[in-house]
């Protein structure tokens, strides 16, 4: 095949589950050959669309689709300022679509281009929430019956949602939580779950940056005896130096990276062995190209991967996660969101779950396609989710 160039770049917005998804479609000079990439920054989807349509598209038109590394590097610096979530997501849409095209041209799944399988499927974890310990236990048992062996346990979602909360008058709108009550409740939750479920199931908890650093240190110490698979996002990116304190006080495995967008955020944590799992949102760091390098870096320092995989990652992004999971010797676990029937109608080739493992479709490229007519039937909305507007009982704004 002669040189294949980029003919068009389009941004597709859809929300089959009410969560804004951003997908990039790169069409080539070869009839019928195109690629899809995930650029989902759900809270700023229109800004990402503008970045793709107004900057990435004119940058790409006419260029050789085979030069993924060069295109990523030059696009990254084309705006001079870099390493922000909006442009990183735009880059990711481009990058994943180019890997999808390369796999299709080679007639291989993307994981083959990354060195081939290290495993047949990726173990995943699911989220068991509840308003009290008994409801969480029931949800954990339901997942165990479905074959899952890794389960994240929350109580009242992030930070704990209290039925009664001592609040000020004229409270501002927001998602209120009580950090002190939350921190007291979580050790009791894991004591209950371990006593009822036993030690065979791997348990996870997400602090979601909801505590002051010293309180995260204390909670990490209190949870150590329950042998968690990992404690997630104990600190916000602004306070990553506190991981040294947590490490010195507790042997609990630590996972971090959901909000990372810059290598300077993960480099010290990995090189100093301060975390055990890196769990970046792949589109927020720029796609498969930087993520595969991050996975290799982690291998050198004994850090395993646990890529972010919530509902605000499109099936294209979930497939990209899995291709990296299968090809990475230091894969740890994959967060999983169960796709709705509507999502699977819009996106064909969605990975499938069997007995707690996620399996790819094995088609060339990323293995995902999109029905644009069906996608258009689920238009995105332009409103912020309340959970991002976190507040403490006295109304103080908090960083989720």
Instruction: Determine contact, residues 362/110, Cβ cutoff 8 Å.
Output: no
262 counts as catalytic: no
Measured from the Cβ of residue 198, the count of other Cβ atoms closer than 10 Å reads: 9
Selecting among 127, 205, 208, 318, the annotated active-site residue is 208
**∠ CA 185-186-192, rounded to 5°:** 95
CA distances from 315 to 99, 104, 129, 274, 355 (A): 15, 18, 23, 31, 20
Selecting among 125, 143, 148, 158, the annotated active-site residue is 158
**∠ CA 290-280-230, rounded to 5°:** 135
5 has which bridge partners?
64
**What is the spatial distance between Cα 360 and Cα 349, in angstroms, rounded to a whole number?**
8
Three-state secondary structure string covering 93-149 = HHHHHHHHHHHHHHCCEHHHHCCCCCCCCEEEEEEECCCCHHHHHHHHHHHHHCCCC
Q: Of 58, 83, 29, nearest to 280 (Cα)? A: 83
The dihedrals phi and psi of 68, each to the nearest 5 degrees, come to -60, -50
Q: Of 33, 43, 90, 112, nearest to 66 (Cα)? A: 33
**What is the spatial distance between Cα 127 and Cα 161, in angstroms, rounded to a whole number?**
16
**DSSP reduced 3-state for 350:** coil
323 counts as catalytic: no
Query: Which of the residues are catalytic?
Result: 158, 208
């Amino acid at each position: 095949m002669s040189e294949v160039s980029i003919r068009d770049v389009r941004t597709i917005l859809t929300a089959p589950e009410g969560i804004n998804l951003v997908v990039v479609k790169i069409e080539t000079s070869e009839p019928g050959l195109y690629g899809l990439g995930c650029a989902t920054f759900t809270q700023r989807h229109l800004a990402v669309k503008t970045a793709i349509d107004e900057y990435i598209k004119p940058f790409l038109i006419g260029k050789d689709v085979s030069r993924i590394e060069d295109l990523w590097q030059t696009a990254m610096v084309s705006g001079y300022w870099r390493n922000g979530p909006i442009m990183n997501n735009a880059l990711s849409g481009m990058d994943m679509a180019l890997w999808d095209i390369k796999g299709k041209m080679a007639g291989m799944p993307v994981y083959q281009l990354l060195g081939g399988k290290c495993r047949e499927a990726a173990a995943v974890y699911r989220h068991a929430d509840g308003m009290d310990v008994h409801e969480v236990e029931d949800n954990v048992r339901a997942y165990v019956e479905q074959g899952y062996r890794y389960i994240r346990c929350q109580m009242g979602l992030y930070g704990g949602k209290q039925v009664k909360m001592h609040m000020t008058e004229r409270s501002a709108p927001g998602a209120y939580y009580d950090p002190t009550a939350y921190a007291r409740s979580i050790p009791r939750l894991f004591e209950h779950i371990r006593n009822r479920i036993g030690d065979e199931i791997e348990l996870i908890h997400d602090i979601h940056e909801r505590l002051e650093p010293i309180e995260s240190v204390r909670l990490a110490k209190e949870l150590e005896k329950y042998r968690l698979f990992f404690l997630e996002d104990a600190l916000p990116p602004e306070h990553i130096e506190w991981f040294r304190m947590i490490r010195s006080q507790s042997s609990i495995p630590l996972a971090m990276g959901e909000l990372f967008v810059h290598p300077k955020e993960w480099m010290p944590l990995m090189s100093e062995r301060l975390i055990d799992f890196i769990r970046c949102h792949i589109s927020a760091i720029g796609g498969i190209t930087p993520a595969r390098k991050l996975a290799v870096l982690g291998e050198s320092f004994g850090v395993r991967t646990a890529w972010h995989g919530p509902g605000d990652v499109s099936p294209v992004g979930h497939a990209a996660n899995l291709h990296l999971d299968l090809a990475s010797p230091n894969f740890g676990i994959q967060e999983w969101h169960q796709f709705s029937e509507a999502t699977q109608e819009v996106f064909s080739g969605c990975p499938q779950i069997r007995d707690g493992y996620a399996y790819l479709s094995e088609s060339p490229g990323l293995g995902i396609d999109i029905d644009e007519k069906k996608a258009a039937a689920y238009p995105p909305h332009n409103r912020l989710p309340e959970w991002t507007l976190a507040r403490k009982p006295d109304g103080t704004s908090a960083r989720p």
